[in-house]
A and B are shown apart, each in its own frame.
Chain A
Amino acid sequence: MTPQPQPEQALVRALVAGEERAFNELVGRYHRSLIRLARNFVHSDVLAEEVTQDTWCAVMTGIERFQGRSSLKTWIFSICANKARTRAERERRTVPFSMFAAESGDGQGPAVEDRFPGGGSWTAPPRAWEDPQRRAISLELREDLRDALEELPERQRLVVTLRDVEGVGLEEIGRLLELSPGNTRVLLHRGRTLLRTILADALDAVPAAL
């Protein structure tokens, strides 16, 4: 039986009291998200694991001081982002700068859908996908999308993951990643555009062209 998610205040109280089942619920909810978040700052899975472990420690030592001004999730994500950023800085000092410059991950260049000769109308319009209500979100589709996410430039992947996988608000993403709102939206736009195209190809629809 899947346990019901506790209302947040009750969860925080249980964490403060050191209840293992509350911690269990928390890691179930966020551990993998935190790994994904950390992984976009640090450059190895091992480091992402370490950062996430440190984050859980910080969460448990700091939970008594959590005042609920933000959501618990936002608070935990912030801790993780800060730790990941700090750790990445530390690692950076031992790695040539040029490696990081190449991975700026903004995906410069024309958006995928930028094939509009003259007019501005579709030359090869997007073919309708199979009725989504008839096709449940299949495991295969999720796998395709997971693979597609890996193909995105780093910062697009991070923004799309936070926004659409994790449901974090745009403003919060900007703060977490130290991006302007405009920049956040551009990254989100480019990432989603590319993913839609990859999904369309995976579903055997002819790629749309304008």
Chain B
Amino acid sequence: MTTHEEMTCRELVDVITDYLEGKLSKKDRDRFEAHIEECPYCLNYLEQMRETIVTLGALREESLSAQTRERLLEAFRDWRGPA
């Protein structure tokens, strides 16, 4: 079995999305995690990437304006006819 090449910071940044999406090969995942253990900068980067993603998820909390909701419900009632 060939020895694993160490992952550089540059490579880590390139493959980080594949890592987070679970698309890396086992070999590359191991290399990635070995590098993270040794490199606080890349660890920061990974945590920031995760936080960015979590914050994006928080954008979903936008609620429908009352006006838009009422308009849609009226269209629904028109479409449905008498209940």
Contacts and interface: CB of A to CB of B under 8 A. Distances in A.
Interface of A: 18, 20, 23-24, 27-28, 31-33, 53, 56-57, 60, 111, 113, 116, 119-122, 125-129, 132, 137, 141-142, 145-146, 149, 160-161, 164-167, 170, 185, 188-189, 192-193, 195-196, 199-200, 208, 210
A139 B53 CA distance: 16
Contacts of A116: 9-10
Interface footprint category on B:
35 or more
Contacts of B52: 145, 192, 195-196, 199
A196 B55 CA distance: 11
Contacts of B58: 137, 142
Contact of A60 (B11, B17, B40, B79): B79
15 contacts: A20-B80, A32-B62, A116-B10, A120-B11, A121-B10, A126-B48, A127-B44, A142-B59, A165-B59, A166-B60, A185-B23, A188-B21, A193-B13, A195-B52, A196-B45
Contacts of A24: 69, 73
B8 to A, nearest CB: 4
A210 B55 contact: no
Nearest to B79: A60
A169 to B, nearest CB: 10
Q: Secondary structure at chain A's binding surface: helix, strand, loop or mixed?
A: helix
Contacts of A33: 60
B60 to A, nearest CB: 5
